[in-house]
Structure 1
Amino acid sequence: MFTESLHIALAGLFFQLTVIVGVGPQNIVLLRQGVRRWGVGLVVAVCTLGDLILLPVGTAGVSVVVERMPVLLEILRWGGVAYLLWFASTCLRDVRHPTPIDTSGAAPGQDAGQDAVPAVSGDTDLPTGGTGVGGTGGTAVATLPARTSVRSRAVTRLPALAALPTALAVTFLNPAAYVDGMVVFGSMANQYDDAGKWVFTTGALVASTLFFICIGYGARLLSRPLSSVRVWRWINLGIGVLMIGMAARLAMMG
């Protein structure tokens, strides 16, 4: 019994990896945030949450409902085609003037060379003891006041908040994700019995979680090549062509 469940779980894990490993809008956003090193945890959480919702819903029988309502499937399918073609057009447009990823880790609106901690202004209250300014030690020592620390912590929260809308959009506003996450996956999971389909789903959820974490936190290893304009010209071209291919595959599913 345990061996059979393990085989089903591994089948779900490997099936989900073959689906999710394809370069798509969600993976590109996750890769970019990982290289920039800001908002990574939030984006990983949103992407994982998307699969935690869509895959069990598909397993619960949405695919059966869709089969009984072909119009709904058509709406999802052609909505996904339109979304993928739009995403491909943005990538192909950027081939001429690609924008490499800023690998400095600076927050949006913050210069790459600017420290996260605000500079001490001239009117900031500083201690002036024996080793302070004007003291006998000859070295100026300044201790940041508490209000500056609070401000710096507020600044570090900005990147995560700025990444939230994009993460939500590519996760929940992509019709192709509903087709793959609910219809296709639901059909695969429902090939097993009542207990087996949830074991299959559990394996798939483990695959999604591990994949998103590895891509998000491992992307910084690619920071050097992904900061090159030439590299991004080829990446945008490849992604654009791949998105067109995915849109064609989705269009021919009917």
Structure 2
Amino acid sequence: MSTSVYFQGLGLCASLIMAIGAQNAHVLRMGLARQHVVPTIAICIVLDCILITLGVAGMGKLIEDTPLLLAITRWGGAAFLVWYGLRAWRSALSSNQLDARGAPALDRRTAIITVLTLSLLNPHVYLDTVLLVGSIGGQQAPDSRPAFVLGAWTASALWFISLGFGARLLAPLFARPLAWRILDGLIGAVMLLIAALLVI
């Protein structure tokens, strides 16, 4: 295995995945509330690994060459992010939605559906993970691509595990409802900003 190619995949994926987005915000929220952290993290990692592999295998090139798919990804994703952003602002303004840990309790099924929706309807998943990581990984020599993919997988796993389980270190800060209001307000602003940048 090519070590340099492995670290190239790891570094590229890490630089993209650490940006604040809908998926990361949800994982952080679940980690802070200590709700369904393991399935949330597992789904994020598995989906990332699948999409990275598909991107390097050629799906990224297919989407890039199909204007209709790009348009659907952009506009559909922007609409979803607007809805999610407004929902976060509503939560920030609604005191009765906050429980002792600052987040409404979700049952396991709802938590799984939410993380699947946030992951698969998030346009940045396709634009970054499939298109960008896929196109760079696809440029590697055929025998080096597995190392690149493995590096990207590693970055994804390390990030989501750290974010989900590390969030509890911030629990004392989020013991106050005001901190949750600020977090939801920031999440809403980020989601709306991302949506605007997608359609401009």
TM-score bracket for this pair, using the shorter chain length? 0.7 to 0.9
Separation in 1 of the partners of 2:109 and 2:79?
28
Change in Cα spacing, 1:9 to 1:16, as seen in structure 2 (3 Å) is same
Equivalent of residue 51 in structure 2, options 49, 54, 79 = 54
1:7 aligns with 2:4: yes
Separation in 1 of the partners of 2:99 and 2:117?
20
Higher helix share: 2
Equivalent of residue 166 in structure 1, options 108, 114, 128 = 114
Q: Secondary structure at the match of 2:196?
A: helix
1:180 aligns with 2:137: no
Q: Percent identity?
A: 33
1:231 aligns with 2:179: yes
What is residue 17 of structure 2 aligned with on the other side? 20
Any conservation in 1 of the 2:25–2:187 contact (CA below 8 Å)? no
Show structure 2 runs of 5+ residues with no match.
Answer: none
Separation in 1 of the partners of 2:125 and 2:82?
14
Larger radius of gyration: 1
Separation in 1 of the partners of 2:98 and 2:14?
27
> Counterpart amino acid of 1:97?
S
Separation in 1 of the partners of 2:133 and 2:142?
15
Q: Shift of the alpha carbon at 1:108?
A: 4.3
Change in Cα spacing, 1:68 to 1:108, as seen in structure 2 (3 Å) is closer
- How many positions carry a matched residue from both structures? 199
1:90 aligns with 2:87: yes
TM-score, normalised to structure 2, is 0.86
Change in Cα spacing, 1:245 to 1:38, as seen in structure 2 (3 Å) is closer
What is residue 70 of structure 1 aligned with on the other side? 67
Q: Secondary structure at the match of 2:101?
A: coil
What is residue 222 of structure 1 aligned with on the other side? 170
What RMSD in Å do the two structures reach over aligned CA positions?
2.5
What is residue 147 of structure 1 aligned with on the other side? none
What is residue 137 of structure 2 aligned with on the other side? 189
